[in-house]
């Protein structure tokens, strides 16, 4: 088991009151799985990732995580514009205080493997949106993350780039045999990318339904072209109450 939510609650406290973001949430992810969580905007998806990353502690229940590093990928790539792509990829290593050249060499290796070799000395501003998201993913992987937490990482991209980048990112994650938890409000993105889709209720978030996605050969393209896609889409849409 890579990650497990057991009857988890989380509430934000502000002066204007208490906001229950997550209530009685239970689901789990096994190693190597690509799991998507879909739910309406504001239902508590980002909160779930913060809980998974350990940035916040649950106010009730439990979050269990394997003793391994996890990495975050956010809506915007959050590459530091004053650093080169290479220096951005080294950032997690710097923070961990890994001065050795070995981890860096591995990071550069990874970047080259996924086509960033020519961009290493460039600033993020000189890259396309798709390339930037790829660089952000490589930064996460180079940090040695086994569990990737993806917070609507494609939603800031235009439609064309979005299809390309989400296939690209999923391919890299699968190829590196990492575990991923993606939150999104985009139903077709969830079906195309995941081994399992979890549907959330409106706030406070709890699980409404879970679906394994067995069809296709695992690539997003085969999923989208599969005849079962439309039916699954309708099912999920119904469960979201749209």
Partner 1 sequence: MQGAAADTEKHMKKALNHSSGHEKFLRAVRRKKIAVWTIRCGILAVLLILWELCARFEIIDPFVTSSPSRVAATLCELYEGGNLFYHIGITLMETVAGFFAAVIAGYGIAVVLWLNDGARKVFEPYIVVLNALPKIALGPLIIIWMGTGYTAIIFMTVIVSVIVCIMNTLTGFLQVDGTMLTLMRALGANKAQILAKLVIPASLPQLMNTLKVAVGLAWIGSIMGEYIVSRAGLGYLIVYGGQVFKLDLVMTATIILCTLAGGMYALVALAERILTR
Instruction: Please say whether the beta carbons of 116 and 85 come within 8 A.
Output: yes
Query: Comparing C-alpha atoms, which of 181, 96, 77 is closest to residue 135?
Result: 77
95 binds partner 1 (CB under 8 A): yes
The binding site for Mg ion (CB under 5 A) comprises 46
The total number of residues shown for the chain amounts to 242
Q: Which of 3, 21, 157, 166 forms a contact with ligand ADP (CB under 6 A)?
A: 21
User: How far apart are alpha carbons 63 and 60 in whole angstroms?
Assistant: 9
Query: Which of ligand ADP, Mg ion, partner 1, none does residue 72 bind to, with CB < 5 to 8 Å depending on kind?
Result: partner 1
Give the x/- contact pattern for ligand ADP in 42-81, rule: CB under 6 A: xxxxxx----------------------------------
Q: Which is nearer to Mg ion, 41 or 160 (CB)?
A: 41
Q: Which of 6, 9, 19, 65 forms a contact with ligand ADP (CB under 6 A)?
A: 19
Helix (H) or strand (E) holding 162: helix 159-175
Q: What angle do CA 148, 125, 183 make, to 5 degrees?
A: 25
Give the x/- contact pattern for partner 1 in 53-92, rule: CB under 8 A: x-x--------------xxx-xxx-x-x-x--------xx
15 binds partner 1 (CB under 8 A): no
Instruction: State in angstroms the smallest separation of the CB of 199 from ligand ADP.
Output: 13
Strands 179-184 and 34-38 come out as parallel
Q: Which is nearer to partner 1, 47 or 201 (CB)?
A: 47
The H-assigned helical ranges of 1-73 are 45-53
User: How far apart are alpha carbons 84 and 8 in whole angstroms?
Assistant: 40
Dihedral over Cα of 66, 185, 39, 231: its sign: negative
To which residue do tokens 């951005």 refer? 88
Stretches 41-49, 103-111, 116-124, 160-168: which one binds ligand ADP (CB under 6 A)? 41-49
23 binds ligand ADP (CB under 6 A): no
Instruction: State in angstroms the smallest separation of the CB of 150 from ligand ADP.
Output: 12
Strands 196-200 and 34-38 come out as parallel
Binding residues (CB under 6 A) for ligand ADP: these are: 12, 14, 19, 21, 39, 41-47, 203
């Amino acid at each position: 088991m890579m990650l497990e939510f057991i009857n988890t609650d989380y509430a934000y406290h502000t002066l204007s009151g208490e906001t229950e973001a997550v209530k009685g949430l239970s689901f789990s992810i096994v190693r190597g799985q690509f799991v998507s969580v879909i739910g309406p905007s504001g239902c508590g998806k980002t909160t779930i990732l913060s809980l998974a990353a350990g940035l916040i502690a649950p106010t009730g229940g439990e979050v269990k995580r394997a003793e391994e590093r996890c990495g975050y990928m956010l809506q915007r790539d959050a590459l530091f514009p004053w650093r080169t792509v290479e220096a951005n990829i080294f950032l997690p290593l710097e923070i961990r205080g890994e001065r050795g050249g070995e981890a860096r060499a591995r990071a550069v290796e990874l970047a080259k493997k996924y086509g960033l070799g020519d961009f290493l000395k460039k600033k993020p501003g000189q890259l396309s949106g798709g390339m930037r998201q790829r660089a952000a993913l490589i930064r996460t992987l180079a940090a040695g993350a086994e569990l990737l937490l993806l917070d609507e990482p494609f939603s800031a991209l235009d439609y064309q780039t979005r299809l390309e980048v989400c296939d690209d990112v999923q391919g890299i994650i699968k190829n590196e045999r990492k575990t991923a938890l993606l939150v999104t409000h985009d139903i077709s993105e969830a079906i195309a990318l995941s081994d399992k889709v979890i549907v959330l209720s409106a706030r406070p978030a709890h699980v409404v339904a879970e679906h394994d996605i067995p069809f296709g050969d695992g690539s997003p393209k085969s999923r989208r072209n599969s005849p079962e896609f439309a039916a699954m889409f309708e099912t999920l849409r119904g469960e979201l109450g749209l």
